[in-house]
Structure 1
């Protein structure tokens, strides 16, 4: 039971507070309202937009990170920019940046495809201007190589996470949230999106995926072992099948975490609670308690 209590406490420490959730939603609404007024003649703080990333997949952790927001522009804006020459995608992002800068005169705003970054004191809103794509998904602005539109399928990403989480009785999201803490605490150069996709892969094959927090020590240990076998492999984006290289720059951090997780599991089995906690804190920091 000490394992269950340790990891339940850990996950509770990772949850955003109600105030943090409200603040993130408020920041989204203020940015979206400014764009809706300009592009849609509406003062809505939510229309033509949606959360994407960790806020949509429910894998966010504290302290608060970015708030990722997809904003759909009218088709007429696409048509207007298609009449231009040069890097049309960069010009479009600069226009969106200017619209926001006029509303948030004391806030740092940067445009770097596909994101316009609005840096508030508590949150950065990563605003993704987009156009609806026939057949599903969205086109977003990429400014490299002279400018081009990239197909993104954010809803398919959400569906993949939800399906895996249902298969595992909520273990997938818990695993992702814990691994994001490892990522930040240990400075692991592995993208959050890649961690999510690896977690979905791992959960599909893990024999204990339907069990409770009592098995979370094993889940962390076995996940580290799993990703060690995925060095220099690839993951594929749901909905678009975009191929993304995992590389191996993160592998030494994963091997270190695996070694510590193996020791921690052995200590847990021997009821050496403090020694187990010491190893877990080397992986996750003090959000996971040493003693339970």
Structure 2
């Protein structure tokens, strides 16, 4: 496969596989709300707007949070607004009750500003809102006694659609690829911030407006360089179209810099068969790897498992793991402080930071690489259950490159991940 074929296949791999199911549930929720709020109106589409990354058409397969606005009438808005005691909460409760008539066995709950409808592997967050004359929406916030907030998803959708045409579809393709990088590398970053970064980058780099799949390698290289050089002190950026403030949720610079370095290496080795493995360091399993090349690669094993094949991956929380190195007669030390890790060490991998609220599951993956692993048939690479202590004990038995990944699964979705590389020498 050449660069053009590879990146076209990559983008195709990101298409949402359960769109029909999502549309079906959007429509049923809309129909239930129309019956309640519009006098038995029998419509599954009117008064409903798909928003968020799904509505902006920048979402990828595995999306676990979908958003919709249900437009309430001016009369209903005035009715809830005129109530003395938190009419916003009443509106959310009435929205919840209306949906429960259709989804009586589904977990449905109010969450301050939206009603969350919890399906298997994804949720739809329903926001009842009143359309204003400037095409913005007033939506309820039930906290602190109740108030109305402003959101402008129509303007964001319109601006992204327009600029996507200007950039020959490169804007939305870049947004989708960046989401894949986020999920592979455990970057806690909201979808609107990703779309904002991609938009701003292309605004500043007109040379990439006409990029084709054949030079997408250079497009993503330049984008990751751009991200890595953004101010670390900056806390928010302005979203395209709406100009609303979009805040960063965690530092992303070091992982963007690592992706840039990997992209540089991949471009340098474009004609080398190892290039696919380098791109997978950035984008993970969704990046195509020709079967005949993969199966003949030095580190291939047909028993390797990938978290993307077992769960939807949609990173929402920070996770950090570390490794304590032990050997009898020596002082314990952290792997990050050891320049060269010798064999015959005991390794204790453990979680140092986990933002995911309980309950959740912890899983691990240990992968051995290199000629010794191949000779011993010890590549490993299976997804392993944690034994309840959030610890994984291993030994540095032989030389080579190795890595350990940790995954947090909540409600059937992988919502956090981290990785440690473990180089072992004689």
Q: Distance in 2 between matches of 1:122 and 1:44?
A: 26
List per-residue Cα deviations over 1:131-171 (Å, max 9, x = no partner). 01122211112234433222111111012111221121111
Q: Distance in 2 between matches of 1:9 and 1:239?
A: 30
TM-superposed CA distance for 1:88, in Å, is: 2.9
Contact kept, 8 Å, 2:164 with 2:172, in 1: the verdict is yes
Q: What are the ranges of 5 or more consecutive residues in structure 2 without an aligned counterpart? A: 294-426
TM-superposed CA distance for 1:187, in Å, is: 1.7
List per-residue Cα deviations over 1:35-87 (Å, max 9, x = no partner). 00000020211111121122322212113433321110122222222232333
Contact kept, 8 Å, 1:97 with 1:110, in 2: the verdict is yes
Measured on the aligned residues, the alpha-carbon RMSD in Å equals 1.9
TM-superposed CA distance for 1:259, in Å, is: 2.0
Q: Indicate the residue corresponding to 1:161 in structure 2.
A: 160
Say if 2:74 is the partner of 1:75: yes
Q: Indicate the residue corresponding to 1:250 in structure 2.
A: 252
Q: Indicate the residue corresponding to 1:177 in structure 2.
A: 176
Q: Give runs of aligned pairs for residues 173-252 of structure 1, distance below 5 A.
A: 173-206=172-205, 207-230=207-230, 231-233=232-234, 234-246=236-248, 248-252=250-254
Contact kept, 8 Å, 2:135 with 2:154, in 1: the verdict is no
TM-score where L is the length of structure 2: 0.64
Which structure shows the bigger proportion of residues in helix conformation? Answer: 1
Q: Indicate the residue corresponding to 1:7 in structure 2.
A: 7
Pair 1:267–1:145, CA change in 2 (3 A): farther
1:39 to 37, 40, 45: 37
TM-score where L is the length of structure 1: 0.91
Pair 1:149–1:104, CA change in 2 (3 A): same
Which one is further off, 199-208 or 137-146? 137-146
Q: Indicate the residue corresponding to 2:118 in structure 1.
A: 119
Contact kept, 8 Å, 1:137 with 1:153, in 2: the verdict is yes
Q: Distance in 2 between matches of 1:276 and 1:178?
A: 17
Q: Indicate the residue corresponding to 1:106 in structure 2.
A: 105
Q: Which has the higher contact order (CA 8 A, sep 6+)?
A: 1
TM-superposed CA distance for 1:5, in Å, is: 1.2
Q: Distance in 2 between matches of 1:201 and 1:56?
A: 20
Q: Distance in 2 between matches of 1:254 and 1:147?
A: 40
Say if 2:288 is the partner of 1:289: yes
Contact kept, 8 Å, 1:130 with 1:141, in 2: the verdict is yes
List per-residue Cα deviations over 1:106-129 (Å, max 9, x = no partner). 101122133211112254222111
Q: Distance in 2 between matches of 1:247 and 1:45?
A: 35
Contact kept, 8 Å, 1:24 with 1:123, in 2: the verdict is no
Pair 1:114–1:237, CA change in 2 (3 A): farther
Q: Distance in 2 between matches of 1:67 and 1:25?
A: 11
SS, match of residue 85 in structure 1? coil
Which one is further off, 127-136 or 169-178? 127-136
Pair 1:243–1:16, CA change in 2 (3 A): closer
List per-residue Cα deviations over 1:17-52 (Å, max 9, x = no partner). 4xx222111110100111000000202111111211
Q: Distance in 1 between matches of 2:59 and 2:109?
A: 23
Which one is further off, 23-32 or 113-122? 113-122
Q: Indicate the residue corresponding to 1:21 in structure 2.
A: 19
TM-superposed CA distance for 1:11, in Å, is: 0.8
SS, match of residue 274 in structure 2? helix
Contact kept, 8 Å, 1:232 with 1:248, in 2: the verdict is no
SS, match of residue 103 in structure 1? coil
Q: Indicate the residue corresponding to 1:263 in structure 2.
A: 265
Q: Distance in 2 between matches of 1:248 and 1:66?
A: 19
Kindly tell me the number of residue pairs found equivalent between the two proteins. Answer: 287
Contact kept, 8 Å, 2:32 with 2:101, in 1: the verdict is no
Pair 1:8–1:127, CA change in 2 (3 A): same
